[in-house]
């Protein structure tokens, strides 16, 4: 399934403040958060956690990270796609039980890295 390809990049160590992600990684992360929001909208994962996690991540993100993530989040939300950084392309994302289960796993990994 195409969605499994984009999960791999997301399990990265959260950078310390001042270390910017590459543009493509940040766009990809933003598109992932758009996918997570779609899962929340469909009540396939707990509502509200995506925005909570983005707020918790904010101190670790550079200005360019935030801007590029917003590009990915906007584009991904508009087109129901995620950007696969390793392949440098957009792939369709359909929120269903299986894909949202994987999304939840990545959100949990981020939370664990943040110590929440």
Confidence band, pLDDT 50/70/90 cuts, at residue 24: very high
The answer, yes or no, to whether residue 116 has pLDDT greater than 90, is: no
Instruction: Calculate the dihedral angle through the C-alpha atoms of 97, 74, 55, 21, rounding to the nearest 10 degrees.
Output: 100
pLDDT score recorded for residue 94: 95
**What's the CA gap between 29 and 7, in Å, rounded?**
10
Strands 81-84 and 89-92: antiparallel
Q: Would you give the DSSP letter of residue 69?
A: H
Q: What is the pTM of this model?
A: 0.82
The predicted structure's pLDDT at residue 89: 94
Instruction: Give the Cα separation of 74 and 72 in Å (integer).
Output: 5
Percentage above 70 pLDDT, the chain: 84
Query: pLDDT tens across 58-112, in order?
Result: 998 999 999 999 999 999 999 999 999 889 999 999 999 999 999 999 899 888 8
- Overall average pLDDT of the 110-115 stretch: 86
Question: Contact at 8 Å (CB) between 69 and 29?
Answer: yes
CA-based nearest residue to 111, from 49, 64, 43: 49
Degrees to nearest 5, angle at CA 35 with 54 and 4: 110
What residue spans define the domains of the chain?
2-6+22-114
**DSSP 8-class letter at 89:** E
Instruction: Say what the pLDDT of residue 36 is.
Output: 97
**Residue 38's pLDDT band (boundaries 50, 70, 90)?**
very high
What is the DSSP-derived secondary structure letter of residue 71?
H
């Amino acid at each position: 399934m195409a969605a499994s390809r984009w999960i791999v990049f997301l399990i990265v160590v959260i950078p310390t403040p001042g270390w910017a992600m590459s543009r493509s990684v940040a766009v990809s992360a933003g598109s992932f958060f758009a996918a997570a929001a779609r899962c929340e909208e469909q009540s396939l994962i707990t509502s509200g956690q995506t925005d909570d996690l983005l707020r918790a991540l904010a101190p670790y993100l550079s200005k360019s990270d935030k801007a590029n993530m917003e590009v990915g989040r906007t584009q991904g939300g508009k087109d129901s796609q995620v950007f696969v950084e390793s392949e440098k392309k957009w792939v369709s994302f359909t929120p269903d039980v299986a894909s949202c289960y994987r999304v939840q796993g990545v959100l949990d990994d981020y939370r664990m890295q943040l110590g929440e």
